[in-house]
């Protein structure tokens, strides 16, 4: 059922205000000059990650809504909620720590398991991506859309720097596409939604908070997402981990992933 325009506008306004507040908060920190510690899984976290998570939760979370974020202990009551905010206060923390301008603040809203409204802000690049199902996507207020690219030849594919370093992309060395290293997966998805790149593919597991907002933007911009089993994700799952994700124009995504498709277990 199509959502009323007033509801879509209200959600996007809420996301825009929260990202504006988070952007003001992160300005107190200097990328490339910030201390970090290791979390239990080995990923880095900074004071900024925690501070922004608190700002976003205060701005976004309303009555009878759920919350899932990287920096908040998972409250399983979210599984009983129709509306769930899925947030990463800083996606691309390693880039943030190293001063590489490919990190972002990522906010997605899932309604009944579907990514419905989203915003991704890259303060370092002065970019704000906003979009919702049925309303399209804007970049800094201007309408944008998915790339029209349909074939692999000459396609600009955004890839994780760490995956490239691990040799995971060597399988594509003989393919006629341009593999472009980039940081945050949320930022890669936003760039694909805005037509700044043709597609992106992550070959290692990611969590819902890494990709929910970006998936929403890609869909709202007319694109397609799937994992390497060929499935499209429903969000707000008990286990937030995804095994993989590809995004871009449908035929291009299918071409890229066809040799990699894994039989379901």
pLDDT at position 263: 59
Mean pLDDT of 164-181: 94
User: DSSP character for 4?
Assistant: P
Residue 245 has pLDDT above 90, yes or no: yes
Ramachandran region, residue 134 (left: φ > 0; alpha: ψ -120 to 50; beta: rest): left
- Tell me the whole-structure pTM to 2 decimals: 0.96
Residue range of the domain that includes 50: 5-144
pLDDT digits (tens, 9 = 90+) for 18-71: 999 999 999 999 988 888 888 767 788 899 999 999 999 999 999 999 999 999
Query: Which among 35, 10, 15 is positioned nearest to 216, based on CA atoms?
Result: 15
Query: Which among 19, 26, 20, 211 is positioned nearest to 124, based on CA atoms?
Result: 26
Q: How far apart are CA 11 and CA 42, in angstroms?
A: 34
Residue 150 covered by a domain: no
Instruction: Give DSSP secondary structure letters for 5-69.
Output: HHHHHHHHHHHHHHHHHHHHHHTTS-TTS--EEE-TTS-EEEHHHHHHHHHHHHHH--TT-EEEE
- C-alpha dist (Å) from residue 183 to 177, 196, 235, 240: 19, 15, 23, 21
pLDDT digits (tens, 9 = 90+) for 183-218: 999 999 999 999 999 999 999 999 999 999 999 999
Q: Give yes or no: residues 135 and 175 share one domain.
A: no
Query: Which among 176, 227, 223, 233 is positioned nearest to 195, based on CA atoms?
Result: 223
pLDDT at position 48: 94
Q: Give yes or no: residues 139 and 207 share one domain.
A: no
Q: Give yes or no: residues 203 and 99 share one domain.
A: no
Residue 235 has pLDDT above 60, yes or no: yes
pLDDT at position 1: 64
Domain boundary (124, 144, 164) is at: 144
User: DSSP character for 240?
Assistant: -
pLDDT at position 73: 93
pLDDT digits (tens, 9 = 90+) for 76-126: 999 999 999 999 999 999 999 999 999 999 999 999 999 999 999 999 999
Q: Give yes or no: residues 84 and 108 share one domain.
A: yes
Q: How far apart are CA 171 and CA 38, in angstroms?
A: 31
Q: Give yes or no: residues 28 and 66 share one domain.
A: yes
Q: Give yes or no: residues 72 and 176 share one domain.
A: no
Residue 6 has pLDDT above 60, yes or no: yes
- pLDDT bucket at 264, cuts 50 / 70 / 90: low
Contact 202, 160 (CB under 8 A): yes
Residue 194 covered by a domain: yes
Q: Give yes or no: residues 125 and 171 share one domain.
A: no
Domain boundary (144, 179, 197) is at: 144
Residue 265 covered by a domain: no
Q: Give yes or no: residues 56 and 18 share one domain.
A: yes
Query: What is the CATH number for 124?
Result: 3.30.540.10
Q: Give yes or no: residues 10 and 140 share one domain.
A: yes
Residue 151 covered by a domain: no
Domain boundary (88, 117, 144) is at: 144
Query: Which among 37, 34, 68, 67 is positioned nearest to 48, based on CA atoms?
Result: 34
Rg (the chain; Cα; Å): 17
Q: How far apart are CA 96 and CA 31, in angstroms?
A: 5
Helix (H/G/I), strand (E/B), else coil: 88: strand
Q: Give yes or no: residues 32 and 97 share one domain.
A: yes
pLDDT at position 115: 96
CA atoms within 13 A on the CB side of 47: 10
Residue by residue, what is the 3-state secondary structure of 204-235? Answer: CCEEHHHHHHHHHHHHHCCCEEECCCCCCCCC
Q: How far apart are CA 181 and CA 93, in angstroms?
A: 16
Q: Give yes or no: residues 180 and 233 share one domain.
A: yes
Q: Give yes or no: residues 39 and 133 share one domain.
A: yes
Residue 149 covered by a domain: no
Query: What is the CATH number for 222?
Result: 3.40.190.80
pLDDT at position 198: 98
Total domain count, the chain: 2
């Amino acid at each position: 059922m199509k959502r009323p325009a007033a509801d879509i506008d209200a959600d996007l306004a809420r996301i825009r205000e929260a990202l504006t507040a988070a952007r003001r908060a992160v300005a107190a920190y200097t990328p490339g000059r910030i201390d970090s510690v290791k979390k239990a899984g080995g990923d880095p976290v900074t004071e900024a990650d925690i501070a922004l998570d608190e700002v976003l939760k205060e701005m976004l979370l309303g009555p009878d809504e759920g919350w899932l974020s990287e920096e908040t202990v998972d409250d399983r009551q979210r599984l009983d909620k129709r509306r769930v905010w899925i947030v990463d206060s800083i996606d691309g923390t390693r880039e943030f720590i190293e001063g590489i301008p490919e990190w972002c603040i990522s906010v997605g809203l899932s309604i009944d398991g579907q990514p419905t409204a989203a915003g991704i802000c890259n303060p370092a690049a002065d970019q704000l991506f906003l979009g919702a199902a049925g309303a399209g996507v804007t970049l800094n207020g201007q309408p944008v859309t998915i790339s029209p690219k349909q074939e692999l030849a000459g396609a600009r594919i955004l890839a994780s720097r760490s995956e490239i370093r691990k040799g995971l992309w060597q399988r594509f060395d003989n393919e006629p596409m341009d593999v472009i290293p980039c940081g945050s997966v949320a930022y890669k998805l936003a760039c694909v939604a805005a037509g700044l790149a043709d597609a992106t593919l992550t070959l290692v597991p990611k969590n819902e908070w890494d990709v929910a907002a970006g998936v929403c933007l890609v869909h709202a911009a007319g694109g397609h997402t799937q994992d390497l089993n060929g499935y499209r994700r429903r969000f707000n799952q008990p286990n937030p981990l995804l095994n993989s994700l590809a995004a871009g124009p449908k035929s291009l995504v299918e071409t890229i992933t066809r040799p990699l498709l894994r039989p379901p277990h």
